[in-house]
């Protein structure tokens, strides 16, 4: 066998723990620090809360659900509106409120079970939403910035293209050809090779490392609460709930265990939202299970929560050691884009796998319509303004998926379906 699969509760050898953990850290770093940069929050407090949130998630789910909690993009729209009108502390209050509502949802799930998931997100909708998570992110891999290559921008140059292709090629070849220990860290190796390639082209700026203070303290900030701010952020609860369920379903498929049953959706969704509330309480941004890290598990076959916990500890350490986080921040977007080009594709493929595994019958009009409408809604760029909040992409498609699924369910119960 060319590589060993490490199960969820299986400890990895000590010599492998650091590189495997770093692989997860690199995978999440670019996207996770982008959210606080956009919202003008302190990235250090976000790294701290990502790490703490991940450790809490592992503890609350009894070490049975491997997941890394990074910064959530679902809150960017309403949070930006609230910050511009009231200030960041009121956005924090909204984060806390949504997190607590999510915890209440977890209790409802605990009391009434998960059978309703098949109603609001039947297989044709669930698989499509999961696939869309990866497909919608595809553009960010080649459109520049800290989490994407420059190859589709006006700044593109032969050097950018070469760095992107080298990184992607090593990730692909390593995933299918590396053996033994190297078969478990193809993403890390791809990042290192891509980084060295960028360095050879003189495209790595070490000044942030040299200027960083050795020890730093995150910026803590108290929240403030306003009903209007909370209501502005309220629609996000539907998005993060469907995103969380989708992530748990695809992770279940990858590791071969039903996480919705054991440790239970109520535990994982509580842990996810409790982390969001706790992060908002001290000045951080909302957290969510990260598709990048799910992709790493799918590629490497390493599902161990000990590795995820190791990545969380590295994230906490980076919040206090300036040069460490600064060093990772010097990784060019072309390198990150090359890696996420594969990882986001793995998420999209996992959604298609759900459709195949559940044997979704596309000779039935309702299944064909669900998948078609979800994909077009998410990928067409259509935007819906709801109470001052803009819904588009995966956010809007998740809402459409739930509403359309409920309509079909009601039609079926009252005999209005023609199938």
CB 87 within 8 A of CB 44: no
Give the domain range for residue 145.
14-362
Distance CA 372, CA 404 (A): 12
State the CB neighbour count (10 A cutoff) for residue 48. 24
For residue 329, is it within any domain? yes
For residue 416, is it within any domain? no
Is 294 buried (19+), middle (13-18) or exposed (0-12) by CB count in 10 A? Answer: buried
For residue 378, is it within any domain? no
pLDDT tens string, the chain, 419 residues long: the values are 455 678 888 988 888 899 999 888 877 876 787 778 767 888 888 899 999 999 999 999 999 999 999 888 778 767 877 888 899 999 999 999 999 999 999 999 999 887 877 888 888 888 888 788 778 777 777 777 766 778 877 777 888 889 999 999 998 998 888 877 777 778 888 888 999 999 999 888 888 888 878 888 888 999 999 988 898 888 778 778 877 887 888 889 888 899 989 899 999 999 999 999 999 999 999 998 887 788 888 888 889 999 999 999 999 998 898 887 777 778 888 888 888 788 778 777 877 887 888 888 988 899 999 999 998 988 888 887 765 566 777 778 888 888 899 999 999 888 888 87
Q: How many residues does the chain have?
A: 419
pLDDT of residue 287: 92
For residue 368, is it within any domain? no
Distance CA 172, CA 272 (A): 31
pLDDT of residue 389: 60
Which residues have C-beta within 8 Å of that of residue 180, sequence separation ≥ 6? 2, 3, 4
Is 183 buried (19+), middle (13-18) or exposed (0-12) by CB count in 10 A? Answer: buried
C-alpha 296, offset from chain centre: 12
For residue 419, is it within any domain? no
How many domains does the chain divide into?
A: 1
For residue 148, is it within any domain? yes
For residue 403, is it within any domain? no
CB 377 within 8 A of CB 400: yes
Distance CA 133, CA 291 (A): 8
Helix (H, G, I), strand (E, B) or coil at 384: strand
Q: What are phi and psi of 389, to 5 degrees?
A: -110, 130
Q: What is the biggest distance separating any 2 CA atoms in the chain, rounded to whole angstroms? A: 69
Which residues have C-beta within 8 Å of that of residue 207, sequence separation ≥ 6? none
Distance CA 311, CA 79 (A): 27
For residue 404, is it within any domain? no
Find, among 56, 88, 55, 49, the residue nearest to 72 by Cα.
49
The C-alpha torsion from 65 through 265 and 246 to 314, rounded to 10°, is -30
Q: What are phi and psi of 384, to 5 degrees?
A: -120, 125
Residue that has been written with the tokens 């044997």 in this structure = 359
The model's pTM: 0.76
């Amino acid at each position: 066998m060319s590589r060993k699969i490490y199960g969820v509760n299986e400890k990895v050898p000590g010599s492998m723990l650091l590189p495997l953990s770093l692989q997860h850290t690199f995978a999440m770093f670019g996207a996770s620090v982008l959210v606080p940069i956009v919202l003008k929050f302190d990235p250090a407090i976000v790294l701290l809360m990502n790490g703490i949130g991940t450790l809490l998630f592992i503890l609350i789910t009894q070490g049975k659900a491997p997941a890394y909690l990074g910064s959530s993009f679902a809150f960017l729209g309403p949070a930006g509106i609230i910050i511009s009108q009231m200030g960041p502390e009121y956005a924090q209050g909204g984060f806390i409120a949504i997190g607590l509502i999510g915890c209440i949802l977890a209790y409802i799930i605990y009391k009434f079970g998960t059978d309703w998931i098949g109603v609001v997100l039947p297989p044709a909708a669930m698989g499509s939403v999961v696939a869309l998570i990866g497909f919608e992110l595809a553009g960010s891999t080649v459109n520049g910035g800290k989490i994407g290559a420059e190859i589709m921008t006006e700044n593109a140059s032969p050097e950018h293209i070469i760095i992107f292709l080298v990184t992607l090629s090593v990730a692909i070849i390593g995933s299918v050809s590396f053996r033994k220990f190297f078969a478990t860290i193809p993403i890390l190796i791809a990042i290192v090779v891509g980084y060295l390639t960028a360095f050879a082209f003189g495209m790595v700026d070490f000044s942030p490392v040299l200027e960083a203070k050795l020890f730093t303290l995150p910026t803590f900030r108290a929240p403030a609460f306003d009903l209007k701010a909370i209501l502005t952020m309220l629609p996000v609860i539907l998005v993060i709930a469907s995103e969380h369920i989708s992530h748990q379903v695809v992770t279940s498929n990858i590791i071969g265990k039903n996480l919705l049953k054991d440790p239970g959706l109520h535990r994982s969704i509580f842990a996810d939202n409790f982390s969001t509330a706790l992060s908002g309480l001290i000045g951080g941004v909302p957290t969510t299970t990260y598709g990048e890290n799910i992709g790493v598990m799918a590629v490497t076959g390493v599902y161990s929560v000990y590795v995820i916990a190791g990545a969380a500890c590295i994230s906490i350490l980076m919040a206090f050691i300036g040069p460490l986080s600064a060093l990772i921040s010097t990784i060019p977007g072309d390198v990150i884009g090359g890696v996420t080009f594969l990882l986001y594709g793995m998420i999209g493929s996992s959604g298609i796998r759900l459709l195949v595994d559940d044997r979704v019958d596309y000779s039935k009009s309702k299944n064909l319509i669900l998948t078609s409408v979800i994909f077009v809604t998410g990928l067409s760029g259509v935007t819906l303004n709801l109470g001052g909040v803009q819904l588009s992409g995966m956010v809007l498609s998740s809402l459409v998926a739930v509403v359309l699924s409920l309509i079909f369910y009601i039609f079926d119960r009252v005999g209005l379906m023609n199938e």
